[in-house]
Each structure stands twice: as structure tokens, then as C-alpha cells.
Amino acid sequence: MSSDTLTSTEYIKHHLQNLTWGKHPDGSWGFAHTAAEAKDMGFMAIHVDTMFWSILLGLVFLYFFRKVAKTAQSGTPGGLQNFVEMIVEFVDTSVRGSFSAKNDLVAPLALTVFVWIFLMNFMDLIPVDWIPGLAAATGIHFMKVVPSTDPNATFGMALSVFFLMLFYSIKIKGISGFTGELTLQPFQSKNVIVQAIFIPINFLLEFVSLIAKPVSLSLRLFGNMYAGEMIFILIALMFSGGLALGIFGGLLQLGWAIFHILIVTLQAFIFMTLTIVYMDMAHSEH
């Protein structure tokens, strides 16, 4: 999809629009051909490109890590095994440093979160016109290739971590212990009447703090990756402005891509670290 055939505004909107499948106002089901059609499909519409790329990248992660696990050797390991072992050791060190309880799920969860989000973020380094252009050539109207720029994907991952946190909070502390954490802190009193007054105040403060965890976890990842994608799109507009502006845009794109490698990795690391911390909080009794 070339910016030469679209205005700047249309080009930006096209690259930020997901391939959406859902129910049309006339009752039929199908893909949206415009942003307005996608909006009319409502909440139950599916972002097919987000689903496709996130599942594909998850399968890539599983394939290569399973391949290394099956062929691992203690002698002279190959480059892929060294790379995978480095990632596993890095994640294991992070878990040991931040998770004080014992739960065999946390390390695999942290590894999955880190590698999967990194792969999704890494798609942002592919030139913005390549895959959408190929999709347009086959009749597909829209194609966003960075799942982490879709809040549906980031909220889905954050809510999964959130539900695990709630599950282990109740499992470890019981219903009464979990309820006590929400109602009996941070304000406490030995006077029963005063403590009763503190309960709704404590609940409000702790409930807001609890809900803020998945919201901040998802919006942090989404905001950073969406902003990065927007900058790539804006730089890509410069290629239609002539040779001199195109060369300058190429240099800008190279510089931003190099810097963006740090952002891609850092956002995956932050999501993983907060996942470990939240799971540790779920296992800690106050």
C-alpha cells in the first residue's frame, strides 16, 4: 500500500486500522471494508490480523523452544541452543530475584510472556508497507502486523495475568484472607467501631489499586508500541516527498529502528517483571 495513492491522513488511518470480521448492520457476517464498517460491527467483532499474527508468533516460539528441548545436548551446543539457554537463564534469574514463594507455574509463565511479547513487538521493525502491501495485492483491505499495538491483545494478556493473581490470592490465603487484604488495610484500629468505619475506605483504596494493575500493565505496553508504530508510519510518509526527503526519511527510519530495538525488548521485560511481582504479591500473606 503506497502512500502515493492515498492522502497522508488516509495513509495513516489505513495502517492503523485492523482487519475486522463481524456482523454487519444488515445481519450478514463478513470482513469490514472501511473503518466505519468496522466500528458498526460493535464489541463482538474480531480483529483477525491481531489473532493471526499473535497465534502464529506463539507457534513460532513453541516450535523453536520445543525443537531445542528435544535436541539439547551437554557437549558442544549449537547457536540456537545457546540462544535459548541464555533466554531461559535470564528469565530464571529474574524469577529467583522477584518471586519468593514456590510455584512451578511462574517461571514458564514468565518465559512465555517475555518471548511472546518480544516477538509481537519485534514485528514493528518490519517496514510498514511490506506486509500490508502484500495483503492489498491479494485483496485484503487492512493488515496490522504488530499485535501489541492492539489494546484487545494487551488487555487480554494483562487480564490473564490478573485472573491468575486472583486465583492464587484466594488459593493461598483463602476467601477470608483475600477479603481481609481488601478491607483491613492500610488503615487499622484496635477500636471495633473505628475499624468498621475504615473498612469501606480501605476497600475503595485497595480495590482501585487492584484494578489498576491489569489496566496499567496493558496500557503501558499498548501505548509504547502504538507510539512506536505511529512514528514509523509518519517517517514512511517522507518517502513520497522526493529523493532528498526520502533519503532523510531512510536515515530517520534506520535510527528509530535501532533505538526501537531497546523499546521492543524493554517492554517485554517490564511486562514479564510485573507479572512475576504480581504473582509474588498473590502468594504473600499480610
Residues annotated catalytic, as ranges: 216, 220, 224
Which of 87, 92, 65 lies closest to 276, judged by CA?
A: 92
| CA–CA gap between residue 112 and residue 134 (Å, rounded) | 30
Q: In angstroms, rounded to a whole number, what is the distance separating the alpha carbons of residues 177 and 256?
A: 48
- How many Cα atoms occupy the beta-carbon half-sphere of 175 within 13 Å? 0
Say how far apart CA 99 and CA 168 lie, in whole Å. Answer: 13
Half-sphere exposure (Cβ direction) of 141: Cα atoms closer than 13 Å? 18
Residue 224 to residues 7, 24, 196, 231, Cα–Cα distance (Å)? 26, 32, 42, 11
138 contacts: CB under 8 Å, gap ≥ 6: none
User: 245-279 burial, b for 16+ CB within 10 Å, e for fewer?
Assistant: eeeebeeebeebbeebeebbeebbbbbbbbbbebb
How far apart, in whole angstroms, are the C-alpha atoms of residue 121 and residue 145? 10
Please answer whether residues 286 and 181 qualify as being in contact, where contact means their C-beta atoms are separated by less than 8 angstroms: yes
Would you state the cell numbers that stand for residue 63, as one nine-digit string? 516450535
Question: What distance in Å separates the CA atoms of residue 150 and residue 148, rounded to the nearest whole number?
Answer: 5
**How far apart are the two ends of the chain, measured CA to CA in Å?**
56
